[in-house]
Structure 1
């Protein structure tokens, strides 16, 4: 039986829906400290978001509704769960956001939702909220809209026209894995088709080129390997020009008991990484290597089961498998070659390139304070 609150007020709804929104990370959370979500007052989560100028701001993040007609086995809000259900109207959502915004507590809005009846009926509520803010209240700031799997092209087009950023969760690397989690979603029709549509609408040179698209993998419940996730990550970045990819480690106790990930004896349990949050962290490191270091999916090292090492980061793993690449000559190497060195990041590599224009680099000490991270680079370099 589903628990329904009888005529909850707007604040009660916000407390419930903002808390339930924490399961979707496709706007923030990553490897940097300033990318992590924090809990604010009044029952809301505050999320940092990177702005086009490189700075950060904070978002009010909430669901429009936690009512959902889907059966996703990993999701604590799936249809057959006995939880408190409620829905905010577009007017309520806009009013709540503007209240926080006018007090300068938040500077942007992230809207998502469970599926209320049909994908397009849900999209209408999300888009209507954005229409109210953009049209009636002339709000020109940051709005991130979740695109519901299975949404029509018309609903997607309107969301892109209203939003600063949009996201549709890819969830799994491939149809076979999604089929283990949901009997109601068609991977190609409901997920890949809309993602491709958004990519077309936001392509370089298009009318909505400034709108960013992000997505999220749910890590663990479908029994996928890291190698499968990374292959799809590369495709999303290389072919569909995804702006960012996020990862959400599945937490035991929230999913359907029939999921193998809920059981220590489930299929493939022995091969699965023991620490789901370290696994999530390693995937974020791979994401960073792809976006900032010039790595491709073919460069990423795995164990025999297709998983990333939990003991060393993937860049160190690559270095260990390619001793022929080292040592790298600090004064002769290209930017790409320097970025392959463990302990050297984009900022340090840029510093090396700038120093080389006027002088010969003779030691790590010229690059600044030699901490543990920079010291890691010493065995891989010659001067």
Structure 2
């Protein structure tokens, strides 16, 4: 099998590791395997080389294309060869960075050593100094995590589920508290030492719809993590059944569910909402048809807020007002009060959404009967 054919298998096997909130592509180009087009924070396209070091895996994750019991081609690339393949893509201008993950063949730290060695070769031997996202495998040692964070711009460990029982539904070979949450805690504590790990941030990922966990359980877990860590972000991977896995006959994740989780997750992380402020149905699920911020606003007694007087933490509760526009409002009104909706439009406020929830110089901008 050629290197190109091997890379096609390994890059397609990396489909469950996400590094983008909107682009969940499942396979890569035949002649250029591994190019993954992520969307940056400013909306620009960021092509990454996304692959596994190996798709050999001892874990039995019931949803995963690489689960131990599945019968398909198992491959592994040596760190030196993988580094050269990536550099060829990078030097040709096809990608701007590397996203490297791996299955766990027999031993967590042997696997981590090989992924770390790949990045070390890139950094030390070839002088590569651009972006690297390196996955931490569950059960990795603290020493290997330290060395990974010394080399990568970003590291991440997939928590996969929101609860120990939820993970038990997915796999019998991982301990939720020991193998995952403990390692997440190590990553967070190490990241605080910016003098030692100046380049590294961290993220995590959950599989949505593969187990019986509710949206409320998922968001409750994320709220706890955000309060205790500097987690950069969370990726929600919608479950889709894969042939020859335990969950091959299971229904896929509801369309739109992960989008609503991203909306609600942002309220927790960026807007400092409490889970109790979010609205769930009788099954503890988010409403798929309405924005969770609007639903939450309808149950708050602070509205309408006065644009020229209300504090920042009330302004960001207004649908249509983001954190950036709220800061601009607070700064501008110190010099000159707002007099019309057009003033807010110029700041990027979605006025049509905000109208029922605001007053400007004491005047309602829309009837509250719209509630």
Same fold (TM over 0.5): yes
Cα displacement string for residues 84-142 of structure 1 (whole angstroms, at most 9, x for unaligned residues): 32211111110011111111221211100111111112112101101111111121111
Distance 1:253 1:137 in 2: 38
| Residue in 2 that maps onto 1:307 | 285
Cα displacement string for residues 278-330 of structure 1 (whole angstroms, at most 9, x for unaligned residues): 110011111221232222333222112211111211101111222x2111111
| Residue in 1 that maps onto 2:306 | 329
Structure 1 residue 254 displacement after superposition: 5.2
Kindly report which structure 2 residues correspond to 1:44-123, keeping only aligned pairs within 5 A, or say none: 44-48=34-38, 50=40, 57-123=46-112
Determine helix, strand or coil for the equivalent of 2:70. Answer: coil
| Residue in 2 that maps onto 1:363 | 340
Number of corresponding residues: 358
Distance 1:225 1:380 in 2: 30
Distance 2:340 2:227 in 1: 36
| Residue in 1 that maps onto 2:20 | 28
| Residue in 2 that maps onto 1:374 | 351
In the superposition, the TM-score normalised over structure 2's length comes to 0.89
Determine helix, strand or coil for the equivalent of 2:155. Answer: strand
**Cα distance change, pair 134–307 in 1 and its aligned pair in 2 (3 A):** same
In the superposition, the TM-score normalised over structure 1's length comes to 0.86
Distance 2:354 2:129 in 1: 45
Match of 2:12 among 8, 14, 19: 19
Kindly report which structure 2 residues correspond to 1:282-297, keeping only aligned pairs within 5 A, or say none: 282-297=260-275
Distance 1:23 1:331 in 2: 46
Match of 1:339 among 310, 316, 321: 316
Kindly report which structure 2 residues correspond to 1:121-132, keeping only aligned pairs within 5 A, or say none: 121-132=110-121
Determine helix, strand or coil for the equivalent of 1:376. Answer: helix
Determine helix, strand or coil for the equivalent of 1:71. Answer: coil
**Cα distance change, pair 365–354 in 1 and its aligned pair in 2 (3 A):** same
**Cα distance change, pair 349–371 in 1 and its aligned pair in 2 (3 A):** closer
Cα displacement string for residues 238-282 of structure 1 (whole angstroms, at most 9, x for unaligned residues): 10221111110111345844x5x9446xxxxxxxxx962411001
Kindly report which structure 2 residues correspond to 1:230-245, keeping only aligned pairs within 5 A, or say none: 230-245=219-234
Determine helix, strand or coil for the equivalent of 1:325. Answer: coil
Structure 1 residue 209 displacement after superposition: 4.9
Distance 2:253 2:349 in 1: 24
Structure 2 gaps, min length 5: 361-371
